[in-house]
Chain A
Amino acid sequence: MTNLQFLSITLNDYRQYKGEQKIDLQIRNDRHINVIEGQNGAGKSNILNSITLCFYGTEEHLKDEKEGGLETFPLVNRDRLEELDEDETAKGYVEIELGENEPEYVFKREFTTVKTSSGFSSTIGDLRLQRRVNRDWKPVDNPHTYLNEILPTRVHEYFLFDGERLHEFFEEGYPERVQTAILDVSHIELLNRSLDHLEKMDTEIGRKASNFEGEAKRLKNQLDEKKQEREQKKERKQELEANIAEAESKITGIDNKLRDSSDAAVREKQERRKYLNDRLDQLEDEIDNLKEETTEEMVQAAPIIYNLKALEYTHEQFAELAQTGQLPPKIQDWFVQELLEKGECICGANLDSDEKKRQHLAELEQEMSLVMQENLEGKAEIPRIIDDGQDSLRRIIENRRKISERQTELDNVDVELRDISNELKNYDLPEDVDVSSLESQRSEIEDRITEMSQEIGRVDQQIETLTEKIDDLDEEWRDEAAKEDKHRRLMKKLDFVEEASEEISEIKQTILAQIRENTEENMNQYFNDLIWKDEDYTVELGENYTVSVYGKHGDNKIGSLSAGEKQVLALSFMSALTKISGFNAPIVIDTPLGRISSKPKKRIAQNLPTYLKDTQITFLMTDEEYTDDVRARLQNSVANEYQLEYLNEVTEVKKV
């Protein structure tokens, strides 16, 4: 184990924890899991909070008051505060020892609560850090710099999180959360900072350029307006794409509900619809492919077929020339030249003495250059061209027949799909699933998707037109500005800034694509490692950050995952992020199995020991999660086990 681990957490008069309580968390050998068990309200979440309080000065894992959440307790332990008079203060702290095997860093943060007439008021002190240098401990002036290297604030939520809330991660609108998370762990801050800097430079140069006068100024203003307009269109497009992704996921959810209907006829129709939709996709693909093939044939055939008369005519002309002797037999002109130079004809005549024969050969050579030797090849080539046209035409006819067949089938599938939808809309079933209403919703969503897709098409067109206009204006503006010597330097700077910006953006996109691919790979592995079902799933992370979970029949289950399955998916996603983030920090998960029912819980527990086995994981579990079965399955991997004993609003941490 070379990753960093929490070696201990010391809580001093923090919330329910009275006095000093040290929780030793050091793991060893194959035992990489810690378990802290406690009933609701005993202070599990406050252990997670104590870590974020110490590191980042915030407590993020608020629970409802009925669960004994934060609002119930002041920052300094209530018992301790009871001993104070009004306006007196009490202090507490959280101290965390971090290291690979031995303590290397000790982070500490104090807090103070003052007792007032109306209650309590707390303040949080600064983060302090002591670092071991050889055998000595030395205070560090800039603890945040060190913390940033260990677990920066933007990524800590992928290492320290509430499992029970995880299922919410994959609720509606999740692609944006996935994208944000991937950006968080992608180490592209330097590139982002460079882009920000270049953008500022660009704005600054633009601002200076706005001071140009006359025509250059007018063009610059016009250019800026068009750029702004294009930005707005791009934002609209992004919004529409996100809405479409969300709408599609809703349709999947509705489809799954209909498939789960207790009515056999509804289930059957839903199955049929699924088959028809798949067939529709298949037919559309086939038609596209056939059209592509036909285009290739058409491009081959058209120049021939449109010019058949010309080809025929030319061939006839060559044939006629050959027949009348004007198109000579296939003799290379160099051969005739050689005969003339040698002075002896192929028939044996002496060309030096027989002037008539020499002249005949000279004329023949001249004639050959007139009609050109290659015309002989044309005479042979043209009939082949005409034949090729016929072959291509036959293939076009055959493809047209296939396209027509598929188009007819596609139309029939369309009609059947509409029929199914209408039948389902009229379904009146006194059962749990309101088929009619679901189907109406489904139709509305489909209509909305169509409208949004059409709008995207229109927006794309507008963006393209604006881009063309911007390019023209940009060129005009630069030409105009460069007319004056004093502007040339500035324009050169602008060129450089823009080129640099383009290059960096390209690098950024390449890195993000790679990270998305790695995340998908890891997510796939963790999901299959953890999920309690025997079948294999394929998890895919799309370019627009949508997640698909395919079962063995190839159907995407993302819309129909249970809360427990969503929790496992999110857990897999978080783990994938921690893995690719490059930070080898420990993980703490509050209520990891909270949403998972008893049988799957056992299966997950069985798989947990192999989950992230190079990383220290601390689970904060309720007694309902940490059942005997779960304990039995984890026992060989657990390094430390604690029980939170809660009595009279005070919690004591007991080692088991």
Chain B
Amino acid sequence: MSDTDPDVEYEDTDAGRDVIVDDQAREYYDTLVEEEDSPFYGVQRIDLFMFALGYGKKRAGQVTQGSGRNALFNRPSLSEQQEWIIKSVATYEERDPQVLRDEKQVYQIAQEYARGGIEELHNLYIRPGDSFSELTTDLVQLGQDFYDFEE
């Protein structure tokens, strides 16, 4: 995460139509939504991307894209809420709301966190243990601290 740098000039850019993942990530997505014992069985890939973005931000960190380019979904399919989460991640990352002018960078940040997150989620799925339960427990604990209420 970088501190705000008043000298940074952001270019006005538009992100591409599709959100792209590398070959390895594509496999992770496929496995997690297609395997019946996965906690994400039947989940839409766009929603899993958003989950991975959060999980990557919190638990894994950014990972740059590897080889291969696969369209995971097209950006217009994102809901307004999902778009604002992506923008917030970029704003927080850059400590500067001006980053929002540079849409390419906004989505690059999101894709790199999601790349880290999806790998970690895949690891969690293949590790022994109840990944569904681990994920909900993690969320509940984080949420309770923030919203200040008890289970």
> CA A263 – CA B151 in complex, angstroms?
49
Q: Are A308 and B146 in contact (CB under 8 A)?
A: yes
> CA A375 – CA B98 in complex, angstroms?
10
Residues of A within 8 A of B (CB): 291-292, 294-295, 298-299, 301-311, 313-315, 317-318, 321, 369-372, 375, 377-378, 381-382, 384-385, 388-390, 393-394, 396-397, 400-401
Minimum CB–CB distance for B5 against chain A, Å: 15
Q: Are B92 and A396 in contact (CB under 8 A)?
A: no
Residues of B within 8 A of A (CB): 12, 39-43, 47-48, 50-51, 53-55, 57-59, 80-82, 84-85, 87-89, 91-93, 95, 97-98, 100-101, 132, 135-136, 139-140, 142-144, 146-147, 149, 151
Q: Are A302 and B84 in contact (CB under 8 A)?
A: no
> CA A436 – CA B7 in complex, angstroms?
85
> CA A321 – CA B91 in complex, angstroms?
13
Known A302-B51, A306-B58, A317-B97; contact A295-B92, beta-carbon cutoff 8 A: no
B39, B82, B97, most chain A CB atoms within 10 A: B97
Chain A residues contacting B81 (CB-CB under 8 Å) are 381, 384-385, 388
Minimum CB–CB distance for B125 against chain A, Å: 13
Chain B residues contacting A382 (CB-CB under 8 Å) are 84, 88
> CA A308 – CA B88 in complex, angstroms?
9
Q: Are B143 and A299 in contact (CB under 8 A)?
A: no
Q: Are A295 and B97 in contact (CB under 8 A)?
A: no
Chain A residues contacting B51 (CB-CB under 8 Å) are 298-299, 302-303
> CA A277 – CA B100 in complex, angstroms?
58
Q: Are A299 and B142 in contact (CB under 8 A)?
A: no
Q: Are B140 and A378 in contact (CB under 8 A)?
A: no
Identify which of A305, A314, A393 contacts B97 (C-beta below 8 A).
A314
Q: Are A298 and B89 in contact (CB under 8 A)?
A: no
Minimum CB–CB distance for B61 against chain A, Å: 13
> CA A309 – CA B93 in complex, angstroms?
11
> CA A314 – CA B12 in complex, angstroms?
19
Chain A residues contacting B97 (CB-CB under 8 Å) are 314, 317-318, 321, 371, 375
> CA A394 – CA B147 in complex, angstroms?
10
Q: Are B47 and A301 in contact (CB under 8 A)?
A: no
Chain A residues contacting B53 (CB-CB under 8 Å) are 303, 306-307
Chain A residues contacting B146 (CB-CB under 8 Å) are 305, 308
Identify which of A318, A377, A390, A400 contacts B136 (C-beta below 8 A).
A400
Chain A residues contacting B98 (CB-CB under 8 Å) are 370-371
Q: Are B92 and A310 in contact (CB under 8 A)?
A: yes
Q: Are B140 and A381 in contact (CB under 8 A)?
A: no
Chain A residues contacting B142 (CB-CB under 8 Å) are 305-306, 308
Minimum CB–CB distance for A303 against chain B, Å: 4
Using CB atoms, name the residue of chain A closest to B144: A393
Chain B residues contacting A313 (CB-CB under 8 Å) are 88, 91-92, 95
Minimum CB–CB distance for A433 against chain B, Å: 40
Q: Are A307 and B87 in contact (CB under 8 A)?
A: no
Chain B residues contacting A304 (CB-CB under 8 Å) are 54, 85
Chain A residues contacting B58 (CB-CB under 8 Å) are 306-307
> CA A304 – CA B84 in complex, angstroms?
10
A-B residue pairs, 9 tightest by C-beta: A306-B54, A310-B92, A314-B88, A303-B50, A393-B143, A314-B91, A306-B58, A310-B88, A303-B54
Chain B residues contacting A310 (CB-CB under 8 Å) are 57, 85, 88-89, 91-93
Using CB atoms, name the residue of chain B closest to A294: B136
Using CB atoms, name the residue of chain B closest to A301: B139
- List 9 A-B residue pairs with CB atoms under 8 Å apart, sorted by A's residue number: A294-B136, A295-B39, A305-B146, A309-B92, A313-B92, A375-B100, A385-B81, A389-B147, A393-B147
Minimum CB–CB distance for B50 against chain A, Å: 4
Identify which of B43, B100, B132, B149 contacts A291 (C-beta below 8 A).
B132
